[in-house]
Structure formats: structure tokens, C-alpha cells
Structure 1
Amino acid sequence: MADSRLTRRTFLRKSLFAAGALPMLLGAGGLYGVFGERYWIQIQKIKLAPGRLPAAFHGMRVVQFSDTHLGKYYSVNRLAHMAELVQRQKPDLICFTGDLFDSQYGRVNPGIIPILSRLKAEFGKFAVLGNHDMRLGADSVRDVLEKADFTVLVNGNRPVSKGGERFRVAGVDEMIYGQPDLKKALIGARQEEFVLLLCHEPDFADTAMKFSVDLQLSGHSHGGQIRIPGVGSLFTPELGQKYSIGLYSFEEKGFHVYTNRGIGTTLFPIRLHCRPEITVFEWGEVP
């Protein structure tokens, strides 16, 4: 009888502890997600050996950032810090894949032009617009990027040349509010040329892999923003569900798509098990 009473008391103590501990753990996780992880930028390094990339570009460092969502929950000072981190990676080429401003809690702010102008890369800075940029006004956001020396690609491309060889950086219009036209974006590109494609929404990859495209860089999904170990993301947005995070390879097609987790947040100012990301692609032979 005494052992039975002891067992019941032990069970009750454990149950009461669990009942009190769970809310505390959830609360601590929420505080960490709001005040900690969403500012803890990860430098994600990816080594790729794209088959058609000219040898002159082996060793090139392509740096991607995405989805800054400047506004109430991501400040100009935070953007300045992020720009410093991008520049520390010694980029040869910089790509921004959309949603510069947050359409719900932000506005187009030309005051960030000097910050973005500090970003330097030998082979240029390229960008496409995201759905939040489109909602705020595509022309206004494009003007900010162009005044900061970004080439904004809307169903177009630009050649990048070195040592008599070249590849193309192409970009398509935003999928939700725009009219993406990859055939138009590739005008002038030779069939054998390596093509780096920028598209805000990653699920455009299903279209891109049908064309002569080697690597697509995207954002939009934020990697799910809140991820549960063993489960994955709780929510991903339209057109960011199939290729929601990281690298996807289609070797038989010679095609890769990479979805950057983004810098800022949307809807809720929280990240959990999904740190903001700057991606550094190192092109060349993979050991």
C-alpha cells in the first residue's frame, strides 16, 4: 500500500511539473523566436559544380540574400548589419530575390539606397521583385534598387563575361501579380550557355527545368519561418510549397533550384528552427 501511495505521489509530482514546464518551454521558445533567432543570420555555404559553367568562372562566389521585409519588424539598422555581412563574404556577384519591403508593415523607403550601394561585386548586382514589392508598387521598389546599382531583371537577362567566356543571369517577373515569361527572359542566350535564373517564387522551378536553365535562385517561402524538428514547416505560402527550403537537384536535367530562407519575417515576427540566411555559392569542382 505504501509503495502504491508513493508511486501515485511520484506520478502526480511529475504530472504537475510537466503541466507547468510545458507552458514555460513554449514561452521560452516564443521569446527566443521573436528576440533571438530572427536576428541570428546564418552564412550558408553551398559548393556547386554546374556542368555547363565555363572554366573561367570556377571559384566564383555568388552571394544571395532575399526577403528582407523592411518595415515594422526589420529596421534600416538591421539592413545595414546584413549588408556588412554580405560584403564580408567577398562576393564576385550578388543576387537579391525579392521582397525588399514588407507590404503590411512597411513602405518604400529611398533612405536605404546608400546602404544597398555599399554592396560591391566585380561582376554586378542583380535583383528580381517579390509579391510584397509588387503590392507596394513595382516601379517604386525597382527605382530604389536601380539607384543602388542593382540590375533589376523583369523577363530579361544580362551576360557576365570573363576571359573570353560568359554566362547569363536571367530574371522573370513575379508570379502572383506579374507575368513571368521565361522564353522572353532568355532571348539572346545561346542554347549552350550556362544560365543563372532569379525568380522570387521557388515553385517556378517546374517551368524553369523545361528550359535551358542550370540554376534557379529563389526566396519567398522563408523556409517556412517556423519549423518543428521531425515535422518540418508549419506553413509555406502559395508557390513556395514544393521547393520550400534549401537545395533541390535534378541531375538528369542538369538543373538545380535553391530556396533561400530569407532575412526578415512576414505575418508574425518570429523564426523558430529556421534562421535567416545569407547564401554563399562557391562554383567549381566539388571535392
Structure 2
Amino acid sequence: MNGKRLSRRTFLKNGLFALKALVALAGAGGLYSIFGERFWIQIKRVRLAYRRFPSSFAGMRIVQFSDTHIGKYYSLKRLEEVVELVQKQKPDLICFTGDLFDSKFGEVSDDVIPILARLQAQLGKFAVLGNHDMRLNAKRVVDVLERSGFTVLINGSRSIVRGLERMQVVGIDEMFHGQPDLPLALKGVGKDDFVLLLAHEPDFADTALAFPVDLQLSGHSHGGQIRIPFYGSIFIPDLAQKYPMGLYSFAGSEFHVYTNRGIGTTLFPIRFNCRPEITVFDLETKQM
């Protein structure tokens, strides 16, 4: 009888210890998610080669950042750190793929202009709008980005010339609140031009695949923000369900879509197993 009581006491004692350990672990994980990982930016490097990529651009470096969600949970000081990291990558071209401000916990502010203006790239700075930008005030966000030195593409394109060759940077309108029109955006683009497409929502790739687009850069998903080991993301937003994170290729085509995990957060200031990201693309000409 005493042995059984001792065993029961030991079981209860061990169970209580395990419960306390789980609570402590959950608390530590929460602190890490709020104050640690969401500011621990990963520099992700991607090397791609294309037959259509002009040889005079070989070795060109594109740096993408996305979804800063500036507001209550992401400060201007943090944005300064992002700008410094982007510049350290020595970009030839900088792309921002939307959601500069957070529509729930932020507002459009000119205070970001002198910070974003520090970004420098020989071949230019390009941007598209995200769904949060559209909810706040699309015209104001465009004005802020343009005054920061970005070319904002809304169903439009720009040629980049190096030597006797060129490539095209194309941007489409936001999918939830805008009117994306890829045929209009591609108007004037040559059939042999290499096309870099900026589209906030990654699932637009299903549309882009049918057009002469080579590489699509997107954001929007935040990679899910909270990723449980052996399970995956707790929540992924609409229009990022198919291509939520990283690089995707398509059978029978050189077309790729890359979904950046973003910088900031939305709804909750938490990232777990899903670090914020700056992506560095090194592009080469594929040998025939």
C-alpha cells in the first residue's frame, strides 16, 4: 500500500513538474516570438539562370524586401535597420513588394521618406502596393514611395538598359482592392525581353504563367508568421495559399515565383519558426 501511495505521489510530483516546465517553455517561446525572432532578419540568397536573361546583365543582384507593416508593432528605428541590411547586400536593383504600412495598427506617414531615400541601387528602386496600402490610402502610399525614390508600378512596366540589351520590370495592381491587368502591364514589352514581375499576392503566379513572364516576386503571406514544427503554418492569407513561402518552379517552363516572408507582422506581433526575410537574387544567363 505504501508503495502505491509513494508511486502516486511521485507521479503527481513529476506531473506537476512537467506542467510547470511546459508553462515555462510556453512563456519562453512567447517571449522569443515577440521580442526575438520577429526582429531576427534572415538574408536569403537565391541564384537563378535563364535562357532569356541578357548576358550584359549577368551577375545582376536584385534585393527584395516586403511587408514592413510600419505602425504600432514596427518602428521607424527598425525600418532603418532594414535599410542598412538591404544596402549591405550591394544591390543593383531593389524591389519592394507591398504593405509598407499596417492598416490596423499604423497610418501613412511621411516620416519614412528620408529613411527609404537612403536605399540606393544603380538600376533603380521599384515597388507595388499591398492590400494594407490599398485599405489605408493608395494615393498617399504611392506619393510616399515616389518621394522616397521608388518607381511604383501599377499595371505598368519600365525598361532597364545595360549596353545594347534590356530587361523589363513589370508591376501589377493589388488583387483584393485593385484591378490587376497583366496584358496592359506587358504592353510594349518585347517578346524576347526578360520580364521581372512584381505582384504582391503570390498566387497571381497562376495567371502570370500563361504570359511571357520569367520571374515573379511576391510577399503578402509572411510565410504564415507562426509555423508549428511538423505541422506548418497556423494561418496563411487568401491569395497566398498555393505559393506561401520560398521558390516555386513550373513544369515545362523557366518561370519561377518567389514568395518573401516579409519583414513585419500583422494582427499579432509574433513570429515563430518563420523569421523575417530579405532576399538576394543573383541572376545569370543559362548556357544553351
Distance 1:283 1:144 in 2: 30
The residue type paired with residue 250 of structure 1 is F
Q: Cα deviation per residue 1:89-133 (whole Å; 9 max; x = unaligned)? A: 000000000000001111111111111111000100000000000
Query: Structure 1 residue 163: deviation in Å?
Result: 1.7
State the match for 1:270 in structure 2: 270
Q: Cα deviation per residue 1:180-230 (whole Å; 9 max; x = unaligned)? A: 000001011112211000000001011011111011000000000000111
The residue type paired with residue 243 of structure 2 is Y
Query: Structure 1 residue 284: deviation in Å?
Result: 1.7
Distance 2:63 2:270 in 1: 24
Instruction: Show the 5 A alignment for 1:1-287.
Output: 7-284=7-284
Query: Structure 1 residue 4: deviation in Å?
Result: 5.6
SS at match of 2:104: coil
The residue type paired with residue 138 of structure 2 is A
Q: RMSD across aligned C-alpha pairs, in angstroms?
A: 1.4
Query: Structure 1 residue 15: deviation in Å?
Result: 1.8
Distance 2:2 2:205 in 1: 67
Distance 2:103 2:122 in 1: 32
Give the 3 Å change call, closer, same or farther, for CA 237–160 of structure 1 in structure 2. same
Distance 1:76 1:195 in 2: 33
Query: Structure 1 residue 51: deviation in Å?
Result: 2.8
Query: Structure 1 residue 14: deviation in Å?
Result: 2.9
Using the TM superposition, name which of 199-208 and 12-21 deviates more: 12-21
SS at match of 1:216: strand
SS at match of 2:241: coil
Distance 1:7 1:61 in 2: 65
The residue type paired with residue 25 of structure 1 is L
Distance 2:222 2:75 in 1: 18
Query: Structure 1 residue 64: deviation in Å?
Result: 0.1
The residue type paired with residue 194 of structure 2 is F
Distance 1:148 1:251 in 2: 39
The residue type paired with residue 51 of structure 1 is R
Q: What's the TM-score once normalised by structure 2's chain length? A: 0.96
Runs of 4+ in 1 over 6 A off after TM superposition: none
Distance 2:2 2:90 in 1: 70
Distance 1:96 1:201 in 2: 13
SS at match of 1:49: strand
The runs of 5 or more residues in structure 2 that have no matched partner are none
Query: Structure 1 residue 278: deviation in Å?
Result: 0.5
SS at match of 1:230: coil
Q: What's the TM-score once normalised by structure 1's chain length? A: 0.96
Give the 3 Å change call, closer, same or farther, for CA 10–284 of structure 1 in structure 2. farther
Query: Structure 1 residue 254: deviation in Å?
Result: 1.4
The residue type paired with residue 256 of structure 2 is H
SS at match of 2:102: coil
Distance 2:202 2:12 in 1: 50
Give the 3 Å change call, closer, same or farther, for CA 52–2 of structure 1 in structure 2. farther
SS at match of 1:21: helix
Distance 1:80 1:282 in 2: 24
Q: Cα deviation per residue 1:145-179 (whole Å; 9 max; x = unaligned)? A: 00111000000000111121111100000000000
